[in-house]
Amino acid sequence: MAKDLTKALADLKEDEALAIVKEKLDAGADPMGILNDASKGMETVGTRFSKGEYFIPDLVYSGEILKSINELVKPKLTAGSDKKTGGKVIIATVAGDIHDIGKDIVVFMLDVSGFEVYDMGVDVPAQKIVDKIKETNSPVVGLSGFLTLAYDSMKQTIDAVAKAGLREKTKIMIGGGQITPEIVKYTGADTFGKDAVEAVAIARKFMSAK
């Protein structure tokens, strides 16, 4: 059997992908490593979609495969550790963007890493995010966006957080699509994560710096 989970998921080969995951888990492989490979496969799916090689049904199908992978891996990650001690994190795909694959991976990884995650979904207006910060007192916010138009929405959201007087106590990371340091500067975010594993590391860093 092929051992390349990233390729199997990117090629939408569900049976092969799940078989690889089961084999890896049975062999004692690192669950986080498996999820990282799956994340890379989803990035390839996103790239193929942006190039017109994949379409909406392919995105949906890849998301279903990922959920099945998550269901297999999660028990290995959460065994004996269900307490949410990492801190509160708000995650949302910004207004005008309905892509949720990258966001869902980050939400899952934060959840199994012990964070209390508030998943606001997709196409979330700036004011709703501001209201959620006020409601939860979450010190960390993650803004996701796959489309280039999301950059303006990210900027508008971060501006709204600042206008509400919440920016100094709120760390904001962004991710999705082709985020670069220049985009971070444009939006006014604190930093960006290239993948879900990095997003968890950033959230931990923000929490420890409180």
Which residue, chain included where needed, has tokens 């999705």? Answer: 176
Q: What is the mean pLDDT of residues 1-26?
A: 90
Give me the domains of the chain, ranges plus CATH numbers: 5-78 (1.10.1240.10), 87-208 (3.40.50.280)
pLDDT (tens digit, 9 = 90+) per residue, 166-201?
999 999 999 987 789 999 999 999 999 988 888 999
Gap between the Cα atoms of 82 and 41, Å rounded: 27
Q: Kindly report the three-state secondary structure assignment for every residue of the chain.
A: CCCCHHHHHHCCCHHHHHHHHHHHHHCCCCHHHHHHHHHHHHHHHHHHHHCCCCCHHHHHHHHHHHHHHHHHHHHHHHCCCCCCCCEEEEEEEECCCCCCHHHHHHHHHHHHCCEEEEECCCCECHHHHHHHHHHHCCCEEEEECCCCCHHHHHHHHHHHHHHCCCHHHCEEEEECCCCCHHHHHHHCCCEECCCHHHHHHHHHHHHHCC
pLDDT (tens digit, 9 = 90+) per residue, 78-116?
654 555 678 999 999 999 998 887 788 888 888 878 899
pLDDT value at position 195? 82
